[in-house]
Chains A and B, each alone.
Chain A
């Protein structure tokens, strides 16, 4: 299945892109996506356990993904 990974701010800079279409096995979790990202060029610049949102809601590392999910890797927020 394919999930869309969104990257922002410093994390987008690290991987050199702001969106990635990622093919992962059915039943994959947030943690699996983070593992795949870590092997990409610049992926070693991400912290080991960043905040993640799935479909615009904060999620846990064990959240199981569905096809077409939007997985956002969230750098430390700094609004205000």
Chain B
């Protein structure tokens, strides 16, 4: 079992090789990729940032939970940070198991929990030159002199609205 935040391209073939062995009749692969549109706005790329120490801790915890829940031992998760372009792989979850059901179930569990709990953020870049933190309603606008100015739209939602489960202990 291994999890990592990486600053380079994710090599999916090497991850498959890392978890596969002769006992595994199934290898499940989930890849998250940068797509060209979000909420109807054309995207040119995404900058991923993280609270690295906590992100690594949470990713490890999630994989341990999956190992216990689905009896898996052979799993690797990599999440990339930094500037990514369209089609780049931002996250890979690869699980090998003798049978497909535990491999698929564990893969789904890991990616769903990762999206809810792991402190990673993405600054989306749009074709009109503007940038926005995904999910926060906070926009950065390019100014005439090239500097950035932040314009925060008041977000009525509290932190509890970001989908965190009780496992992550949102503020009471």
Contact indicator A6/B51 (Cβ below 8 Å) = yes
Interface size on B, residues (CB 8 A): 45
Considering only residues 9-51 of chain A, those with a C-beta below 8 Å from chain B are 9-10, 13-14, 30, 45, 47-51
Q: What CA separation (Å) do A60 and B159 show in the bound complex?
A: 12
Min CB gap B64→A, angstroms: 15
Q: Is A3 among interface residues, defined by CB-CB distance under 8 A?
A: no
Considering only residues 9-23 of chain B, those with a C-beta below 8 Å from chain A are none
Which of A6, A45, A76 interacts with B135 by CB under 8 Å? A76
Number of A-B contacts (CB under 8 A): 123
Considering only residues 134-158 of chain B, those with a C-beta below 8 Å from chain A are 134-136, 138, 140, 150, 152, 154-155, 157-158
Contact indicator A13/B119 (Cβ below 8 Å) = no
Query: For A79, what are the chain B residues with a Cβ–Cβ distance below 8 Å?
Result: 48, 50, 55, 79, 90-91, 114-115, 118-122
Which of B49, B115, B158 interacts with A48 by CB under 8 Å? B158
Q: Is B123 among interface residues, defined by CB-CB distance under 8 A?
A: yes
Contact indicator B114/A74 (Cβ below 8 Å) = no
